[in-house]
Amino acid sequence: MVLNLKDIEQMELRYRATLINSLAGFRQAVLIGTKSVDGHSNLSIFNSLIHLGANPALYGIVSRPDTVRKDTLKNILETRQYTLNFVQKSDYEKAHQTSAKYEANVSEFEKAGFTEEYLNGYKAPFLKEAVVKIGMKLEDTIDIKINGTILIIGSIQSIQLNENILGDDGFVALEKENVLISSGLDGYYSTEFVGRLTYAKPETWPTIIS
Amino acid sequence: MVLNLKDIEQMELRYRATLINSLAGFRQAVLIGTKSVDGHSNLSIFNSLIHLGANPALYGIVSRPDTVRKDTLKNILETRQYTLNFVQKSDYEKAHQTSAKYEANVSEFEKAGFTEEYLNGYKAPFLKEAVVKIGMKLEDTIDIKINGTILIIGSIQSIQLNENILGDDGFVALEKENVLISSGLDGYYSTEFVGRLTYAKPETWPTIIS
């Protein structure tokens, strides 16, 4: 079937939001941990993590300023510290529950049944149950004027993971931890390995990296 | 294991690139189709597709201006048209081969063993073998000054998919098509459904959407 611009524009709002969001495909599910200046912990699920570069190591997150995730955004801007945490697929209900509209002084760690953890001198909380924990420092924000979203750019300060998922060439085999991924606002998935391929060159066909 | 900022900064360049890229998690594999002003078709794999908003329907792509993908970027800027194509996991070698450094006048469609398709009055080529085909129009570009990358923002003009993956509420169940996803620059995966959950509310626990 083909949906053209007119079809898309005439869709009921919630239907279109669900369609356009899920159509963007599968994304890493990331739980962002922050702490407010007055000491309240916050944990919220995002699926807009972007790799921007490795040298320096920079990741982006897209956020709307007017959503349930505004506490996370406020804490990042005020404290410049946040943590990125990946959980296993078995924790998908807990991860989803962090998207509920709790008051700013309520800890989503507690409400979702997760545990706060403090590591590496960081003031922002990590998620103890996470299998990958990344400490971030805010570097810049960019206003995306066309629809009022914000790109939050941070540099990686620390990485914590099980060393058996880190390969000799630096590749992180997240599938070995059954890491949770998502699609749209409420679809949860895990992954199945297909293969890693050698660097593509015009004159040859890629082969599997064993 | 813990890697701190000093460990990260001291890594060998390629090792760090592999680590930081794969650590960002799983992403949708997207093949971008473009046509140059002088009529050469181009197809290149990306994994930086970002959902920016549904009203209007906007997706972003992050690109470096100085990479193998510069033909794609040039064509998008010059023609303002491009297509997003999702393939099945069985096409992962072909998809990867589009990342090879072919000359600008060489069609990656042909070299990778794919077929061009023209739909809905679009001048940019779609990928015939793709299970999801999205026609895009360039709306804006944003320079990410901190590391010289570019955020390409486009609006969705058309969507083509098999109607049996589009649910009554607008959710696109891409897993039913065994859609290819990726991690890092060379890791390929498919997905396994875990569950869809009801809208999260503070006072209740989410349940599975059947």
Per CATH, domain A27-189 is 2.30.110.10? yes
Give the mean model confidence (pLDDT) for residues A154-183. 98
Of B24, B52, B166, Cβ closest to residue A49: B24
Joined together, the tokens standing for residue A203 give: 């004159």
Locate B167 and state its tokens.
């649910």
Domain ranges of chain B: 28-189
Phi and psi dihedrals of B142, rounded to 5? -125, 125
ipTM over 0.90: yes
Q: Which of A116, A29, A42, A111 is nearest to A74 (CA)?
A: A42
> Cβ contact (<8 Å) for B57 and A20?
yes
- Please report the residues numbered 112 through 151 in chain B whose beta carbons come closer than 8 angstroms to any beta carbon of chain A: 119-120, 132, 134, 139-140, 142, 144-147, 149, 151
> Binning pLDDT at 50, 70 and 90, where does residue A120 land?
confident
Q: Does B160 touch chain A (CB under 8 A)?
A: yes
| Residue B70 tokens, joined | 């510069």
- A142:B144 CB<8 A: yes
pLDDT digits (tens, 9 = 90+) for A58-74: 999 999 876 667 889 99
| Lookup: tokens for A185 | 């606002």
Other C-beta atoms within 10 Å of A17: how many? Answer: 18
CB-based contact (8 Å) between A10 and chain B?
no
Closest residue in chain A to residue B142, using alpha carbons only: A144
In the structure, what pLDDT confidence band is assigned to residue A210 with cuts at 50, 70 and 90? confident
Band of residue B65 on the pLDDT scale cut at 50, 70, 90:
confident
Q: What angle do CA B199, B200, B206 make, to 5 degrees?
A: 90
Q: How confident is the model at residue B64 (pLDDT cuts 50, 70, 90)?
A: confident
Question: Could you tell me the fold of the domain covering B28-189?
Answer: Pnp Oxidase; Chain A (2.30.110)
State residue B120's pLDDT score: 82
Give the tokens for residue A65.
């300023």
* A25/B181 CB distance under 8 A: yes
Quick check: B68 pLDDT over 70? no
CA B5, distance to chain mean position in Å, is 30
Under 8 Å between Cβ of B206 and A59 = no
> What is the structure's pLDDT at B210?
76
**Predicted confidence (pLDDT) per residue in B91-124, tens digit:** 999 999 999 999 888 999 999 999 999 998 899 9
On the 0-12 / 13-18 / 19+ scale of CB atoms within 10 A, B163 is exposed
How many C-alpha atoms does A32 have within 13 Å on its Cβ side?
31
**Quick one: tokens of A179?**
């890491």
Q: What is the pLDDT of residues A10-62, one digit of tens each?
A: 999 999 999 999 999 999 999 999 999 999 999 999 999 999 999 999 999 99
Q: Which chain A residues touch B130 with a CB distance below 8 Å?
A: none
Query: Pairing mode, if any, of strands B149-161 and B116-117?
Result: unpaired
